[in-house]
């Protein structure tokens, strides 16, 4: 086949190679199992690149988004809460979504406000790095909430940090320093003038 896909018929290998060289292209076997095998005149480098791109796109479409999960208890202690929340923040910073689960035991299920309080604390701790994608809701004996990385918040934080760094690096304005010192110097000079009597006073 020629570069446009038109069939050129059955040709001996030397003739097919000569045709490919005339077009400054490659002779690529595209159907080795056929009888006779099918070859196409093409740019082999571009062919490999296009094949890699198609494979990459196919993998991207079939990849499921992995959701990490972190489980809390309604009566979790401060140390455990901090440890688990740091791990949640780590997952979010790595680009993962996180399902936060409150596990109720016994009669705790009759007090969903306890779980809601924990979830609100988690959301507040990761504010600026994540957004609440799914609001807290009861699911059997559990209460769940889904957090997702907030890219816009991270970009805004980075921009704010850059502005702070620029302000800190900026040199002090000489005029500003002079204006702050001048009133004190003027006051001192006035006091000295009042303390020293003139010739008439002496």
pLDDT in tens, 167-188: 566 554 444 444 444 444 444 4
pLDDT at 193: 43
Sorted by where each starts, the structural domains of the chain and their CATH numbers stand as: 13-62 (3.10.20.80), 67-153 (3.30.110.10)
Out of 55-69, 98-112, 125-139, 187-201, least confident range: 187-201
Cβ burial 153-188 (10 Å sphere, 16+ → b, else e): eeeeeeeeeeeeeeeeeeeeeeeeeeeeeeeeeeee
What count of other Cβ atoms lies within 10 Å of the Cβ of residue 74? Answer: 19
Q: Convert the pLDDT of each residue in 63-97 to its tens digit.
A: 455 789 999 999 999 999 999 999 999 999 988 99
Q: How far apart are the first and last CA of the chain?
A: 120
pLDDT at 194: 47
**pTM (predicted TM-score):** 0.47
Mean of all residue pLDDT scores within the chain = 79
Query: Would you call 12 exposed, middle or buried from its count of C-beta atoms within 10 A (0-12, 13-18, 19+)?
Result: exposed
**Whole-angstrom distance, CA of residue 145 vs CA of residue 130:** 12
The fraction of the chain above a pLDDT of 70, given in percent, is 72
pLDDT at 73: 94
Q: Convert the pLDDT of each residue in 1-13 to its tens digit.
A: 888 888 888 888 8
pLDDT at 7: 86
pLDDT at 47: 86
The answer on pLDDT for 132 being more than 60 is yes
Assign 161 a pLDDT band (cuts: 50, 70, 90): low
């Amino acid at each position: 086949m020629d570069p446009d896909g038109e069939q050129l018929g059955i040709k001996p290998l030397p003739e097919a190679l000569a045709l490919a060289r005339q077009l400054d292209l490659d002779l690529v076997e595209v159907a080795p199992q056929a009888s006779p095998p099918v070859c196409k005149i093409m740019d082999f480098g571009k062919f490999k690149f296009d094949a890699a791109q198609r494979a990459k796109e196919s993998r991207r479409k079939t990849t499921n988004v992995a959701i990490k999960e972190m489980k809390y208890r309604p009566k979790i202690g401060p140390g455990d809460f901090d440890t688990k929340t740091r791990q949640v923040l780590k997952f979010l910073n790595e680009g993962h979504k996180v399902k936060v689960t409150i596990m109720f035991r016994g009669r705790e299920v009759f007090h969903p406000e306890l779980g809601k309080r924990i979830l609100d604390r988690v959301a507040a701790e990761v504010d600026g790095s994540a957004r609440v994608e799914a609001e807290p809701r009861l699911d059997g004996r559990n209460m769940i909430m889904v957090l997702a990385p907030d890219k816009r918040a991270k970009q805004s934080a980075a921009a704010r940090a850059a502005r702070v760094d620029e302000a800190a690096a900026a040199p002090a304005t000489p005029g500003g320093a002079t204006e702050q010192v001048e009133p004190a110097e003027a006051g001192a000079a006035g006091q000295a003038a009042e303390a020293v009597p003139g010739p008439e006073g002496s």
